[in-house]
């Protein structure tokens, strides 16, 4: 089967998460003011926020780690097109148990699961301990992590991913408390809003929805339709306005 006949993947998304251009610019401004020399992006995807940070801090170098080869290739292509290829490296490997040297700035956006094999809810604590080891004294961690905006109902949990549980995530206060317990001070606390979530969820599906409309009789149409319908129902009937994403700018203590 020719690759051009397959559904396109995530071309409508700039960031792989609910993050607006305005919020990204504000975050980068704060992070760049600390003039990091080294940036480490865990579960980087195509590393858009890392690339923009490098553009904002001349001379800084970056390393992005992810297991998705297509995303890594997209990141390398974007770096080349923005004259950053000599300052950034994308590596296709696992971050679990990594022995990488600490960096001045560590990004971990929706990727805490990449840092350990711990299962929810312990995965957040495990990730925070790993991030504490990976950031240099005086550096910064930008953690994008899930939390419950309110306790989900049984019906909402049933509509989410398999085996979703009410104890899977803390609330926002509990998440920040975990960060403090793991050796950080929260320099900035902010959360994705509804507009950012809707932009992300719609962009996440849009390529494939339009492909399905034009390829309803394609050999892959049935399984693709089932997958996207399941994801949309999980969002609209399950975690919409229930699951939140916090962006925490954390400073290591000591």
Q: What is the mean pLDDT of residues 127-137?
A: 98
Q: What is the pLDDT of residues 139-155, one digit of tens each?
A: 999 999 999 999 999 99
Question: For 4, which DSSP code?
Answer: G
pLDDT at 3: 58
Q: What is the pLDDT of residues 162-201, one digit of tens each?
A: 999 999 999 999 999 999 999 999 999 999 999 999 999 9
pLDDT at 244: 98
pLDDT at 6: 83
Where do the domains of the chain lie, and which CATH numbers do they carry? 9-197+231-252 (3.40.50.150)
Distance of CA 58 to the CA centre of its chain: 24
d(C-alpha 174, C-alpha 89), whole Å: 35
203: buried, middle or exposed (CB in 10 Å: 19+, 13-18, 0-12)? middle
* CA dihedral sign, ordered 106, 110, 114, 119: positive
Report the candidate in 239, 220, 227, 217 with the shortest Cα–Cα distance to residue 169. Answer: 239
Percentage of the chain beyond pLDDT 90 is 95
Q: What is the mean pLDDT of residues 67-74?
A: 97
Q: 139-171 burial string, b = 16+ CB within 10 Å, else e?
A: bbbbbbbbbbeeebeeebbebbeeebeeebbbe
Contacts of 198 (CB under 8 A, 6+ apart): none
The whole-model pTM stands at 0.96
């Amino acid at each position: 089967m020719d690759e051009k006949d397959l559904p396109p993947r995530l071309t409508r998304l700039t960031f792989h998460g609910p993050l607006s251009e305005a919020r990204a610019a504000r975050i980068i401004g704060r992070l760049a003011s600390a003039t990091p020399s080294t940036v480490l992006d865990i579960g980087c995807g195509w590393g858009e926020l890392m690339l923009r940070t490098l553009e904002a801090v001349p001379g800084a170098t970056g390393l992005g780690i992810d297991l998705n080869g297509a995303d890594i290739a997209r990141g390398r292509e974007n770096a080349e097109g923005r004259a950053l290829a000599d300052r950034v490296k994308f590596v296709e490997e696992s971050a679990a148990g990594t022995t990488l040297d600490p960096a001045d700035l560590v990004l971990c956006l929706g990727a805490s699961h990449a840092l350990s094999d711990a299962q929810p809810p312990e995965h957040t604590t495990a990730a925070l301990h790993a991030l504490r080891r990976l950031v240099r004294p005086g550096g910064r961690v930008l953690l994008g992590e899930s939390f419950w905006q309110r306790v989900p109902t049984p019906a909402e949990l049933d509509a989410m991913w398999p085996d979703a549980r009410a104890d899977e995530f803390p609330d926002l206060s509990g998440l920040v408390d975990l960060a403090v317990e793991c050796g950080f001070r929260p320099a900035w606390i902010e959360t994705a809003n509804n507009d950012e979530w809707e932009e992300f969820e719609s962009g996440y599906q849009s390529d494939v929805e339009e492909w399905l409309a034009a390829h309803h009789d394609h050999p892959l149409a049935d399984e693709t339709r089932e997958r996207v319908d399941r994801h949309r129902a999980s969002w609209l009937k399950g975690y919409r306005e229930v699951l939140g994403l916090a962006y925490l700018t954390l400073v290591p203590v000591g």
